[in-house]
Structure 1
Amino acid sequence: MVVSRQAILAPCVVCLCALSVSWMQSPRLQALLKNRQNIPLATLEKEIQVEKLRLNLLKKTPAFGYDNLMANWAYLNFLQYFGDDDVRARTGYSLSPEYFEVIIERDPRFLGTYISLSTSISLYAGMPERSIALMEKGLKSLKPQVPEKSYYVWRYKGIDELLFLGNAKASQQSFTSAADWASKYTDEESKYVALTSLRTANFLRQNPNSTYAQISTWGMILSNPVDNATRKRAISAIEKLGGKVITTAEGLNQIIFPPKD
């Protein structure tokens, strides 16, 4: 009898999730993606409030074992939201943390989302405290090798702590953890991350106001696949700190540090 009920309930749950997805992806929201320029600001703000209500509901909705599906769907909706440059220029990025509240709650091991979390919330929405709090929450479910190369979350956290909060001590601890986790791997990428993270942590330990450490941290942002606006901001910050960014013939960014730290 129990097996029979499970057999009946399973497809029902799938259908419920599919219907929920369809409901969240409302026609009005889709229409806004096609033509933004002439839409009144009041209409856009109203749509944002509706989307916020949907996200709040999604946080509370039972997943019935489909947490990954909910996290994936929230991330796809975030990408749609974040990529709508015309509207974001008018309304800002205040919903960014709401998407990641859902994602981290449902699937904290969704490693690929953390770079978007850090960039969109700290850099664009101007809420580094929420970005760091979300990463701290996610890190409780991570281990050095689960998921693979999860040391990057410590790196993103250290970047936000140093560049956006000016908390050198917390950043030093995060980079130390990144180096420790990365050192458990033997591939070249992980070795490089371990070395540079430890070097940054040592810079911050010896000199909390290290210009070199700040330039290196902005360089870490540049080393990630970022959009043009983020790239320009990172280069501008490096130049203000006395450094210089040169693009090599291979298309790589090379940082020239100032003579003195």
Structure 2
Amino acid sequence: MSYKHFLAKILAPVLALSCSGVITLLQLSKVAYIQAEISQAKPRAVYLLETEQEEANLALIKHLPNFGFDNLIADWSFLRFLQYFGESDARQQIGYALTPKYFEVFVSRNPQFIQPYKFMSPATAA
């Protein structure tokens, strides 16, 4: 067995493992930062400000010209609704006031796309 062949067989796995280890260490620090950021609850005023901004965004989306992209706008608004609805810390502090507005935007843009209705209809019922 030649020296080059030996190096190729040993060096490649060692290099791959060391690179994987370095990437893992770098990602662990980022994960720790994100977990620390998540554990800090935002004050109610921040959530209220975010809600006002989102309400303004919904009003804009509702009155935007469609340019033939109603389905895309409806899908995008549904994805934004899922993010809004899933933010449990904010919803516990300030409630679900924007849920019907998301539903209005979605239904006005694409009334035939009924799969998201099963998510949105119970969320708007109060």
The answer to whether TM tops 0.5 is yes
TM range (shorter): 0.5 to 0.7
Shift of 1:36: 6.9
**1:91 matches 2:94:** yes
Long gaps (5+) in structure 1: 1-33, 127-261
Greater RCO, 1 or 2 (C-alpha within 8 Å, sep 6+) = 2
Residues 87 and 36 (structure 1), Cα distance of their counterparts in 2 relative to 1, 3 Å cut: farther
**1:111 matches 2:119:** no
RMSD: 1.4
Shift of 1:35: 2.9
**Which amino acid is the alignment partner of residue 60 of structure 1?**
H
Match of 2:38 in 1: 35
Long gaps (5+) in structure 2: 1-36
Q: How does 1:127-146 map to 2 (within 5 A)?
A: none
Q: Kindly name which structure, 1 or 2, has the bigger radius of gyration based on alpha carbons.
A: 2
**Which amino acid is the alignment partner of residue 96 of structure 2?**
Y
Residues 72 and 41 (structure 1), Cα distance of their counterparts in 2 relative to 1, 3 Å cut: same
| Deviating 4+ runs (over 6 angstroms) | none
| Count of aligned pairs | 90
Q: Conserved in 1, the CA contact under 8 Å of 2:81 and 2:99? A: yes
Match of 2:27 in 1: none
Distance across 1 between alignment mates of 2:116 and 2:99? 12
Residues 105 and 80 (structure 1), Cα distance of their counterparts in 2 relative to 1, 3 Å cut: same
Identify the structure with the greater helix proportion. 2
Residues 39 and 67 (structure 1), Cα distance of their counterparts in 2 relative to 1, 3 Å cut: same
TM-score (norm 1): 0.33
TM-score (norm 2): 0.67
Distance across 2 between alignment mates of 1:74 and 1:66? 12
User: Aligned to 2:115, what secondary structure does the other structure show?
Assistant: helix
Shift of 1:54: 0.3
